[in-house]
Structure 1
Amino acid sequence: MYRIASEKKKPTGNHAVTEAPPTKGQQAGAHSSHKNAEAKTQKSRVAANGKSGNNFPNVLVHGFCGWGRETLTSKIYRYFGGTGDIQEYLNNRGYQTFTAAVGPLSSNWDRACELYYFLKGGVVDYGAVHSARYGHERYGRSYPGVFPEWSEEHKVHLIGHSMGGPTIRTLVQLLEHGDPDEIAFAPSSREAGTSELFKGGKQWVHSITSIAGVNNGTPVADDLGEPMSDLLLSLASLCGADNRDLLFDFDLKQWGIHREKGEDLVEYAKKIMLSKAWKTTDSAIYDLSFAAARLQNIWVKTSPHTYYASYCADGTVPGLADTRVPMSNMNPLLLGGGAALGLNERDLAGGFLNWRPNDGCVPVPSAQYPIGHAHEFVGDNPAHPPKKGVWYVHPPIAGVDHIGIVQPVGSTTLEWLEEFFGKIAAYNKALPI
């Protein structure tokens, strides 16, 4: 079904070597062995720092086409946990956890702004300069604030899946460095001044965990080009299959898009697809591309005040002529992407062959760490204590796909997910202040 790749294997190129899934008997032994080894590794790595431990909450941040807990969808099926509930699983075990609700189709900048207000509370301010530049409203939805005490004394652990990875990195950049254009904005007598978010100087994030994060872009966005918006928006509309109720909120209010009372979901989806947002570079579709990721990795720094860790999945096995093919347990929604990525011929960092292993949506090297940023492969020096400002890259999890790493479908089970997120929460809690 699934297996966590052994940490004893050294990374080849940009990623660790993975193997085809073992038999059930081998799987149980390997899984148990890895579990014990990883627990000891994490304990020794943190304990070596001396002063350790914190009570900062975890914040789960969904990816593209994801949802929080306020929509009807979450009452039936949760983004983190599916029919289970990762947030409450962690809360019940003493790890305070929130699940964010940000725009499923919005850009990393807009999503970072929404995440800030989701935690702190207030009406979302996307920035006067940013909003004017891209032609959307400056203000968005209002959040009550789940963690209004958020500050340098009361930090958070941000855990992002898929596009949630670059989104939480963008938030840290804005918190710590602000934005010079927004800082220089001179409001008229009728305008509000610059939001505190854009003023910088806020070391409010203790750790970042990227899970199958799109840190270097994905060919799934690049190769489809213009048709990408129609295709992905059509897929997203499937999340709201009942036309009578809003099961899924596209949350594009800054673009003037609202679902009117009684409006048919198909008409609502058409309205979204005709939005001017897709003609700009201020959208999720653009931000998932290689070009956008390269620019973001220059602008968004790895903070020397924050701990970083990444987890990625490989749902493929070797095919003919150095190709990679999806495993039989890959989610059907990901089979096409997994097969296409397994044939990659783009000459990317580390060579095109290294970019063929994938989780059905994101190539392994894209999910490991932002290219050009400081990083260490966890298997290289397991006794090394964690350092801030360095990405700790865990080996690819073999036999798991992009959806299965957050929802118990096909490649994983709820028990596996609870253990996986439980380990992350325990590690975060043990990180030195």
Structure 2
Amino acid sequence: MVIRFWIATLQISELFVSSLVHLLYGLYIFSTAVAGDLSQNLNEYLFKPNANIGVVKVEEPKGSTSVDDLPPIVLVHGIFGFGKGRLGGLSYFAGAEKKDERVLVPDLGSLTSIYDRARELFYYLKGGQVDYGEEHSKACGHSQFGRIYEQGHYPQWDEDHPIHFVGHSAGAQVARVMQQMLADKAFKGHDNTSENWVLSITSLSGAFNGTTRTYLDGMQPEDGWTMKPICLLQLCRLGVIVYDWLDIPLLKTYYNFGFDHFNMSWKKIGIQGPVDCLLGKTGPFASGDWILPDLTIQGSLRLNSHLHTFPNTYYFSYATKRTRKIMGITVPSSVLQVHPLLFIRVLQMSQWRHPPDASPPYKGYRDEDWWDNDGALNTLSMTHPRLPVEHPSQLVLKDSDCQPLQPGIWYYRIVEGDHILFIINRERAGVQFDLIYDSIFERCRKHVFRKTPPTLPNHAHQ
């Protein structure tokens, strides 16, 4: 009896600590957003006549292609992320989008499934009304159609005008799923799509093969699909349902989880509707059409079984790690080098053990392969697609290791950093932030292109 009491106490304590960590991290992002919003508005009010100070206008050389003809670099956010215009103007990518003249930052669902986000990404770029597909929509219990883009952000997008994608965390997998949809001609009314519409995919801590953190947060390791009755994710589910049901326009404009196509607003489902959602009868959490099932190892296996690495696309990946081994034991690198809101998760993930009474997620699974992590994802998962089939890859220690770049290969580099190294707080990352993003944009502009037809301005070929 005493042992059971202590086990229950430890489980409750873990839930409390996990919830506190996520709450603090949420407050950190929210307070940063509000502060940034107020600062931006104050600057615009006080210094409006000098608004263009510090902005350098690039004069195009004669005979060169204009900036508008450059292939866009599209930055795709991860879980709980947001695009341009949300959270009071806070930049999810910490201002990295200002490093190049032709960068797009779409606002996709922050908790919606990778499938739904891939559909949204296509229409954001091409234009039109988001079509989630009739079969998928019926199976998952949501509307077939979503947001309307009167004008796509790159309507000329096709095989002759391909695009670079840079995805953080789940955003990298979103880009891969969308590329596969292009190859499968899965967008109704767009019969000429192909995988060659994607010029390159760069992954920043990409969620390619799932993460053991999903099980720590509450996904069942037995199936990677359902949630434990009492866990952090149940609190998250409750908050999302209430937030969407209240449907307060000001709040939804400021931040949106992306579940509008599930019609959970009080205007559409009344008083009884949220009860059915909370009881698991309807909504995204009932059908599994949300992000967490896609981030389990099992969910990633299901996704990856249909995804290819294509021979004409360039792939590059930055995998992050904040662990080291001491006498054969994997532990966090140090207290100071790991963000305080991720330290607990780094420690927990470095000690993860798959339940012995549950079937392993794949043949050959070993706990120790998954211990290195960045507080959100396992380093093994971030390097390149490995499961259920390992895709062509090459470890990069220095840039000369991958020059000249070859398409159809996942070049990957291990970077010392936690999961939010590339986002939110540029000052915290220091010089490493600029070095990484500068190398990404330089690669896109100078080393990644198809010889026929050219996709770079004339002066970039010199």
TM-score, length basis structure 1: 0.72
Structure-2 residue corresponding to 1:356: 371
Q: Does 1:195 align with 2:188?
A: yes
Contact 1:331–1:409 (CA<8 Å) still a contact in 2? no
Matched position secondary structure for 1:100: coil
Larger Rg: 2
Q: 1:64 aligns with which of 79, 90, 97?
A: 79
Identity of aligned residues (%): 26
1:384: how far off? Answer: 4.8
Distance change in 2, residues 1:409/1:155 (3 Å):
closer
Describe the SS at the equivalent of 1:207: strand
Question: Pick from 399, 402, 410: which aligns with 1:391?
Answer: 410
Q: Does 1:285 align with 2:285?
A: no
Displacement of 1:250 in angstroms is 1.1
Distance 2:321 2:306 in 1: 28
Pair 1:156 & 2:156 matched = no
**CA separation of 1:319 and 1:234: change in aligned 2, threshold 3 A:** farther
CA contact 1:63–1:162 (8 Å) conserved in 2: yes
CA distance in 1, matches of 2:305, 2:113: 17
Give yes or no for contact 1:67–1:104 (8 Å, CA) kept in 2: yes
5 Å-filtered alignment, 1:303-382, equals: 303-319=310-326, 321-325=328-332, 327-328=334-335, 329-346=337-354, 351-371=366-386, 372-379=390-397, 382=401
The structural deviation recorded for 1:344 is: 2.6
Q: When the two structures are aligned, how many residues end up with a matched partner?
A: 348
1:317 aligned partner, one-letter code: R
Q: SS state of the match for residue 147, structure 2?
A: strand
Give the C-alpha shift of residue 125 in structure 1: 0.2
Could you give the per-residue CA deviations for residues 107-162 of structure 1, whole angstroms, max 9, x where no partner exists?
11100000001111111000111111211110011223211111111111010000
> What is the Cα deviation at residue 411 of structure 1?
5.1
**CA shift for structure 1 position 404:** 2.0
**Aligned match of 1:295:** 302
Give 1:367 shift.
0.5
Q: Cα gap change, 1:160/1:306 in structure 2, threshold over 3 Å: closer, same or farther?
A: same
Separation in 1, partners of 2:238, 2:372: 27
Structure 1 window deviating more from structure 2 (308-317 vs 167-176): it is 308-317
- Say which SS state the counterpart of residue 200 (structure 2) adopts: strand
SS for the counterpart of 1:379 is coil
Pair 331,158 (structure 1): closer, same or farther in 2 beyond 3 Å: same
Q: Higher helix proportion, which one?
A: 2
Shift of the alpha carbon at 1:287?
A: 0.4
Question: Following TM superposition, where does structure 1 have runs of at least 4 consecutive aligned residues deviating by more than 6 angstroms?
Answer: 234-237, 270-274
What SS does the aligned partner of 2:401 have? coil
- Tell me the secondary structure at the aligned position of residue 312 of structure 1: strand
Looking at structure 2, the residues matched to 369 and 170 of structure 1 have their Cα atoms a distance apart, in angstroms, of 14
Alignment partner for residue 138 of structure 1, among 113, 138, 144? 144
Contact 1:376 1:392 in 2 (8 A): yes
Question: Aligned to 2:305, what secondary structure does the other structure show?
Answer: helix
The answer (yes or no) to whether the contact 1:257–1:272 under 8 Å persists in 2 is no
The residue number in structure 1 matching 2:437 is: 421
User: What is the DSSP-based 3-state SS (H/G/I as helix, E as strand, rest coil) of the residue aligned with 2:429?
Assistant: coil
1:78 aligned to which of 91, 106, 111? 91
**Which amino acid letter does the alignment assign opposite residue 396 of structure 2?**
V
1:408 maps to 425
Aligned to 1:40: none
Q: Is the 8 A contact 1:326 1:360 kept in 2?
A: no
- Deviation of 1:279 after TM superposition, in Å, equals 2.1
Larger relative contact order (CA 8 Å, sep ≥ 6): 1
Q: Quick one: structure 1 residues 118 and 171, their matched pair in 2 at CA, closer, same or farther if it must change by over 3 Å? A: same
Match of 1:229 in 2: 233
> 1:69-218 alignment to 2 at 5 Å?
69-71=84-86, 73-75=87-89, 77-81=90-94, 85-91=95-101, 96-143=102-149, 144-179=151-186, 195-196=188-189, 200-218=193-211
Residues 393 and 412 in structure 2, CA contact (< 8 A), matched pair in contact too:
yes
> What is the root-mean-square deviation in Å for CA atoms of aligned residues?
3.3
**What do residues 15-72 of structure 1 show as CA deviations (whole Å, max 9, x unaligned)?**
xxxxxxxxxxxxxxxxxxxxxxxxxxxxxxxxxxxxxxx932100000011001122x
